[in-house]
Structure 1
Amino acid sequence: MSLHPTLQPYADAWAHSVEAISDLVQPLVEGEWNRRTPCPGWSVRDIVSHVIGLDCEAMGDPRPIHALPRDLFHVTSDHQRYMELQVDVRRHHTAPEMTSELEYTIIRRNRQLRNENRDPGTKVRGPLGVEITLEEAMRYRAFDIWVHEQDLRTALGEPGNLDSPGALVTRDYLLDALPGVIAERVDAPRSSAIVFDVSGPVEFLRTVRIDIKGRATLETAPALGPAASLSLDWETYVRLACGRVSYQAVADRVKTEGDTQLAERILRNFTVTQ
């Protein structure tokens, strides 16, 4: 048996992004590993540590026994504390230690994926020990690693792969979360519609429709007379949805029509990552 067809796109997206990350960091000198990235509180080294750590956990490795410092300003939730452990334990690793561990992790993970024959619905251990399906785990991994590839590209001034396999997984992942953002965080009028028109390497037009009970659904058909419409490029959409930038910082890259106050509330509450 081999990897289930449902899982193959996520494995391919992961492989594409992790190889890109390896290529990006391989030539870095020691000081460049400390560059800040758009991911709050994390340097280049921290992101690579996160990539290594999550892939090791996906392979069943035990989590490190390590006490986090109390002065990490960017760590404010249980989810962030969970993610920070694999990062902080590597904060003093050298550049050769980081690149060699990354390469070894990629080799091990590729071997595991080649031999993966479990059903997509198999329950596996997810973040914070919560059980999720294998499909959910691999989908999240493909999304997460592509976003962090983009963090590294921004920090290192090496743009690219905005339309890679990971970008397409990320598009679908973020769109799945969009109705929840509108229904739970934004006081959108009932029986209304909000249109998102995204351009660039990954382009799409989607309508979030709110019914009379306040429930939101995602549609591909454009809405006539929407309560608000937002037009922005793909990179800006990702940076907003992943909490890499405030909406004020990219206001000149977002065009809104209709109810401007509603559009502003949407942009203020756009982040879906934790």
Structure 2
Amino acid sequence: MTVHPSLQPAIDAWTQSIESVHELVNPLAESDWNRATECPGWSVRDVVSHIIGVECEMLGEPRPIHTLPRDLRHVTDEFSRYIEVQVDVRRCHTAPEMTSELDYTIIRRSRQLRNEHRSPQAAVRWPLGGGSERTLERTLAMRAFDVWAHEQDLRRALGVPGNLDSPAAVIARDMLLAALPQVVAQDAGARPGTTVAFDVHGPLEFLRTVRVGPQGRGTIDGSVSLGPTATLILDWETYVRLACGRVRAETVADRIKTEGDQELAWSVLREFAVTP
């Protein structure tokens, strides 16, 4: 048996992105591992620790038994407490220890994925807490998205841009766009009959329109709306940073252009973050 064709794109995207992470951090000096990233409270080391930790859980390894310090100000709820364990347990690791564990984890996960023969609809435990399950297809896409998002965190922290149009970036785009109807219709409270256009340029260019129907439900499509209620024009990297909760709209206002209903546009921007 071989890997199901519908799983291969996500596996390939994950592989390309996690190998890019390895290439980024492998030559770093010890001090560079302490550079701050846009993830609150996390350094380069912490981001890589998070990637390693989740992939180890995907391999079926038991979670570390570890008590978190009480002074981690960015740990504010049960979810952040859960994911912080895999991070904090590695904060004393040296650069060679980090790169060696990352390399070993990539080798083992790649082998696991090459031998993946389950159905795309097989239920698997989601590794980020809550005891929930996802389909295998959804889980692999989300892993590609998560690793790519953290690759971009590392690239910004290290000043090494790239891969904004990689296969995993396309998966990330589609997953972020799927969340837009709720952002506009529910979170930002757009009224029925409202249309909000998103004009995104850069390495990934796209135009999408969210329409709020009579029952207050949002839908999204690629058609051009004549005279939308509001239009947001921004570059792809800024879109990602906002949607992944890395920055607030006010701090990148110089990279965003809004047209039409300004109050609505900024209500949407303030509710733009859709990842934990």
CA distance in 2, matches of 1:109, 1:37: 25
* Percent of matched pairs sharing the same residue: 62
Which residue in 2 is equivalent to 1:62? 62
Which residue in 2 is equivalent to 1:151? 153
1:219, distance to aligned residue in structure 2 (A): 1.0
How many aligned residue pairs are there?
274
Which residue in 2 is equivalent to 1:207? 209
Letter in 1 for 2:236: W
Structure 1: stretches of 5+ with no match in the other structure? none
CA distance in 1, matches of 2:181, 2:77: 24
Which residue in 1 is equivalent to 2:35? 35
Which residue in 2 is equivalent to 1:163? 165
Q: How does 1:1-274 map to 2 (within 5 A)?
A: 1-126=1-126, 127-128=128-129, 129-274=131-276
1:141, distance to aligned residue in structure 2 (A): 0.4
Displacement over 6 Å in runs of 4+: none
CA distance in 1, matches of 2:267, 2:238: 17
**What SS does structure 2 have at the residue aligned with 1:188?**
coil
* CA displacement 1:243-273 (0-9 Å, x = unmatched): 1111111111111111000001111110001
CA distance in 1, matches of 2:184, 2:172: 18
**What SS does structure 2 have at the residue aligned with 1:217?**
strand
1:214, distance to aligned residue in structure 2 (A): 0.6
CA distance in 2, matches of 1:63, 1:57: 7
1:142, distance to aligned residue in structure 2 (A): 0.4
1:181, distance to aligned residue in structure 2 (A): 1.2
1:72, distance to aligned residue in structure 2 (A): 1.1
**What SS does structure 2 have at the residue aligned with 1:267?**
helix
1:77, distance to aligned residue in structure 2 (A): 2.1
**What SS does structure 2 have at the residue aligned with 1:206?**
strand
RMSD across aligned positions (CA)? 0.8
1:93, distance to aligned residue in structure 2 (A): 0.6
CA distance in 1, matches of 2:275, 2:227: 30
Q: TM-score, normalised by structure 1?
A: 0.98
**What SS does structure 2 have at the residue aligned with 1:76?**
coil
1:131, distance to aligned residue in structure 2 (A): 1.1
* CA displacement 1:99-151 (0-9 Å, x = unmatched): 00000000000100110000011111102121111111111100000000000
**What SS does structure 1 have at the residue aligned with 2:179?**
helix
Q: TM-score, normalised by structure 2?
A: 0.97
* CA displacement 1:60-104 (0-9 Å, x = unmatched): 111111111222111112221121111011011111110000000
CA distance in 1, matches of 2:10, 2:81: 26
CA contact (8 A) 2:66 2:89 kept: yes
**What SS does structure 2 have at the residue aligned with 1:182?**
helix
1:183, distance to aligned residue in structure 2 (A): 2.0
1:21, distance to aligned residue in structure 2 (A): 0.5
**What SS does structure 1 have at the residue aligned with 2:72?**
coil
Letter in 1 for 2:56: C
**What SS does structure 2 have at the residue aligned with 1:61?**
coil
* CA displacement 1:172-229 (0-9 Å, x = unmatched): 0100111111122112121121000001100100000001111001111111121101
1:59, distance to aligned residue in structure 2 (A): 1.1
**What SS does structure 2 have at the residue aligned with 1:147?**
helix
1:4, distance to aligned residue in structure 2 (A): 1.1
Letter in 2 for 1:221: S
1:38, distance to aligned residue in structure 2 (A): 1.0
